[in-house]
Amino acid sequence: MMNQFIISLTFTVLALSTITSIAQADDLAQQQNWVKEARSIIKKLNHRLKKIRKHGLSEGGEVKAVEACHLDAPDIASELSDPEEWTIRRTTLKTRGLDNAPDKWEISVLKKFEQRHKKGELKKNPDYFEIVKNKEGKPVFRYMRAITIKRACLKCHGEHIAHDVSSQLASLYPFDLATGYKKGDLRGAYTLTLIINNNKSNSANACKSPGFLQQGRCWKPLESYQECQAETIKKQQPSAVFCPEDKISHNSKLPGYQFLSVEDGDTIVIDFNNKKQRVQLIGIDAPENTINPKINLDASRKQIGISYLLEMGNLAAKNLNKLLKNNPKVYLQGNLEKTDKYGRLPALVINEKGESLNQKMVETGYAILLTRFPIDDKLRESLKQAQNRAQIKKLGLWKTHPELMEKWSK
């Protein structure tokens, strides 16, 4: 009897050991898939960053390249992130912008990378990944990949930086620590986080063409305005894409919010679940109406005096106020779970009349198409045509400040 018990126990232990090994193998396989996804996202980010740097260099050398990276890099990282999938950014122990400061986990990994670098192992082993718990106690997959200094990086991260570039860096990044590097030095790392949800695949590959992944689901592109509205009503939430037309009935069950105030020509403030929330009219840009870091950049980039920009910005804000007059509610279409780098919700904003304010601001001549922001192709084309019409008819700022608008729109 005792021998039978021992044999039975041995088989049980072996079976449990085999099950555990299979489970561990499955976990490792899943993590390896996530590593592949992370590397793919980084590749896309690198490609986009190289393009904006190249464009900046062609426009005005290294100074313009620094400015382009400052303006566009956060938006590109934000675009490649998804609240229910991957979030991506860059971090380092020697920060340039305060937004890139590492958390405790990232500091520990960066120190591991430093050790590997000293041993000459970093080139062969530039990755680190681990499943940990976030602040809410949810399991997350965290991945980091080391970044080393290339020759091109030395122009704004090296020991000897040109005076005009150094001045631009000082104005954009007053707390800059990211200089004094040599070629091959460890600069920092890409850092990606994935919330683990066993109820869905968490795989970008799960959404095959012609679908696309958003909010953890595979969506199909909507071919028509009618189909877009039908999908919006069915889901009772913002559609996966922006409806192409500028007229959207406020009865289409888009979420409605109390309008509070206009901040500037492309930003309003609403009551969002009992909290004040800034909303950016997606796809458009209007001149600033207050002194802030962006107006200084715009003045330099567009070669327009700040006083003129403020004048234009005030006119744009007044026009948006006029469009919202007697409209206590606005209706939003977009991803309302994700804010931009300025803490705003990018959205298509519809007034009580069913008019897209994004479209109205452009077609009345007080805003322009924001070409660097990723939006639906049909919306982009609609805004582009509205801008052309406003320019030809000399409406809004195209009438009061035609030459400045020529500069502003480029």
Residue 315: give its domain's CATH number. 2.40.50.90
Q: Are 243 and 326 in a shared domain? A: yes
Please state the domain count of the chain. 2
The DSSP output letter for 254 is: P
Tell me the torsion sign for CA atoms 277, 341, 408, 242.
Answer: negative
The boundaries of the domain holding residue 394 are 222-408
The DSSP output letter for 247 is: B
* Residue 129 neighbours by CB distance under 10 Å: 17
Q: Are 64 and 144 in a shared domain? A: yes
Name residue, tokens 């001549």.
365
Span 125-173, pLDDT tens digits: 899 999 998 877 888 899 999 999 999 889 889 988 998 888 888 887 7
- Burial of 204: CB neighbours in 10 Å, binned 0-12, 13-18, 19+: middle
CA distances from 212 to 205, 207, 209, 231 (A): 10, 6, 7, 15
Cα distance between residue 401 and residue 394, in whole Å: 10
| Strand-pair partners of 139 | 133
Residue 180: give its domain's CATH number. 3.30.450
Q: Are 191 and 226 in a shared domain? A: no
Span 22-45, pLDDT tens digits: 344 456 778 888 998 899 889 888
Contact (CB, 8 A) for 280 and 365: no
Residue 12 lies in a domain: no
Per-residue pLDDT at 378: 79
Phi-psi region of 277 (alpha: psi -120 to 50; beta: other; left: phi over 0): beta
Q: Are 170 and 235 in a shared domain? A: no
More confident of the two residues 112 and 351: 112
Span 244-256, pLDDT tens digits: 343 444 434 577 8
Span 299-319, pLDDT tens digits: 887 888 888 889 999 999 999
Span 329-370, pLDDT tens digits: 898 888 788 888 788 899 889 887 778 899 999 999 999 998
